Chain A
């Protein structure tokens, strides 16, 4: 399975990554090699096999916790690492262009 530079660009768009032309080229090659390697899974017959959708052991299923109010971060603590803020909000660039 070879990935074209156009496909790399499309995936980068989905992942919100702005890649340089150099990176697009390199990822097209490297991701193609990795996809070539994972192709071996196609050789396996997985019909009727249940997917392992979580990793908890049998009987370990997490019960729902009580719907109770617990201590949480104060607005100051939650905002302390914000790149930009105003009052008690995270500030972002213009959304409607």
Chain B
């Protein structure tokens, strides 16, 4: 194994410790990451843009700080990457869509700014479903992303590149976004840790909007520590985002080793006994629950009777909001314009037809319909009431437990092409993740085993702003089972 391969195999925690001890330089880590991307990304497809020059310059700055004895944060000097939904000043940002091809943002997203201020080195932008709409990354307008565990399978979506880049050992940490499961599903499929914080915990300023009452920025890593460290860097109030919370940011690393003893883990009976759950996934999830019991946690039977309506409510709320958010792509201020169109109206229609792929179009259509005269009450308003019912289910459950545990997805990673022609089947991959967004809760996926050689994730959901308990519980499981080994990605 070459020194470069060894460097890329480090988790963010390990890389951070070696940087702090002066055993490795940021230059070496960044060089190894860029070489690994070069060697593997032709097969994985995790990146939409790589910025070697910029990354090497930032690494040199980090090394210069280290030489002065200055270390800004646990991520200082560590190579990372962000989903292509985050605006990055001077780096093309596409949201996975042709309509933003060549777009150069004039400013950084707050999460990106905080990451870079903490010293992390962004090496590139990650592949995703167009406008974060999808569960397989197949709706990327640029290229498919492949699961490093089995290149014929999807990495999950929409933050597919964010999870695949970690599984392929290309970078040590990533940012994603999660509107209905878009961090947790790919984390589960790729065998990494993915955290969707509470709505309001991380600023969304500079993150291209999909469904504004659901979207949240989150972190992914190969270990729980990695996702926790990244959250500590990006979380907190931002005057530029009116929905960002003023609550103080927790100490996510400090309590990580607190164990699971005394925790009350709620197990929703609807989730493990429902139809459509792969028995291999159910088995891995049950084994994880048994581990919690052995570690001194109590398993509590809870019920979420309205969670079965989650997908239906979600696809009305999310599409209605998307139809409004995506109205800004009109060929006037940025993005693709049909130049030959005659008149403004034709220019709008032609630009949007050419720029949007099938999934954004489908969702714009559905959302426009749900909001249109005569249908608003029956669809959007009713879905918002169902959201209240789903939230009440969780409020009741959290009277009896500290967190809720269950599967992330009904199956392990499915094959590329398997669901892409059947939108409804694709939507159903989000059946367990979607209620978390509707109820505005924090949620996390942590690896809990393999089924048929493919990773299975355990989902943990917590009380609003209680990310610390989720991370501690996830770490307790990880300490027992260990992070998954490297996937057998062909060299």
Q: Which positions in A face B, CB cutoff 8 Å?
A: 3, 7-8, 11-12, 14-20, 23, 27, 30-31, 33-35, 37-38, 40-42, 44, 46, 49-57, 60, 62, 65, 73, 77-78, 80-84, 90, 92-95, 97
Contact = CB atoms under 8 A, between A and B. Distances in A.
Contact of A51 (B323, B346, B388, B438): B388
Interface string B341-352: 111111111101
Instruction: From A50, A55, A57, A93, name the one whose CB has the most chain B CB atoms within 10 angstroms.
Output: A55
Contacts of B353: 17-20
Contacts of B346: 18, 93
Given A31-B365, A37-B311, A90-B332, 10 more contacts: A15-B327, A23-B358, A34-B315, A37-B312, A38-B379, A49-B385, A52-B388, A60-B245, A60-B246, A81-B334
19 contacts: A8-B365, A16-B348, A23-B361, A27-B361, A37-B424, A44-B309, A50-B385, A52-B387, A56-B243, A62-B243, A80-B106, A81-B103, A81-B106, A81-B334, A83-B331, A83-B332, A83-B336, A84-B337, A93-B346
A37 B310 CA distance: 12
Nearest to B323: A15
Q: What is the predominant secondary structure among interface residues of chain B facing chain A?
A: helix
A78 B464 contact: no
A95 B369 CA distance: 26
Contact of B381 (A27, A51, A65, A90): A51
Contacts of A78: 106, 333
A18 B384 contact: no
Contact of B198 (A8, A35, A57, A83): A57
Interface in B369-403: 369, 372, 379, 381-389, 391
Contacts of A23: 358, 361
B68 interface: no
B364 interface: yes
Nearest to A94: B343
B213 interface: yes
Contacts of B311: 37
Q: What is the predominant secondary structure among interface residues of chain A facing chain B?
A: loop
Contact of B344 (A8, A50, A62, A92): A92
Interface in B278-293: none
Instruction: From A15, A30, A42, A51, name the one whose CB has the most chain B CB atoms within 10 angstroms.
Output: A15
A31 B386 contact: no
B245 A38 contact: no
Contacts of A27: 361-362, 365
A18 B365 contact: no
Contacts of B213: 54-55
Given A16-B349, A18-B349, A92-B344, A11 B379 contact: no
B422 to A, nearest CB: 9
B39 interface: no
Interface string B306-330: 1001011101100000010001001
A50 B379 contact: no
A34 B368 contact: no
A18 B361 CA distance: 10
Nearest to B349: A18
A57 B349 contact: no
Contacts of B369: 3, 7, 11, 31, 35
A14 B200 contact: no
Interface string B448-491: 00000000000000001100000000000000000000000000
Contacts of A16: 327, 330, 345, 348-349, 352
Nearest to B440: A55
B57 to A, nearest CB: 22
Contacts of A93: 341-344, 346-347
Contact of B366 (A34, A51, A77, A90): A34
Given A16-B330, A16-B352, A73 B386 contact: no
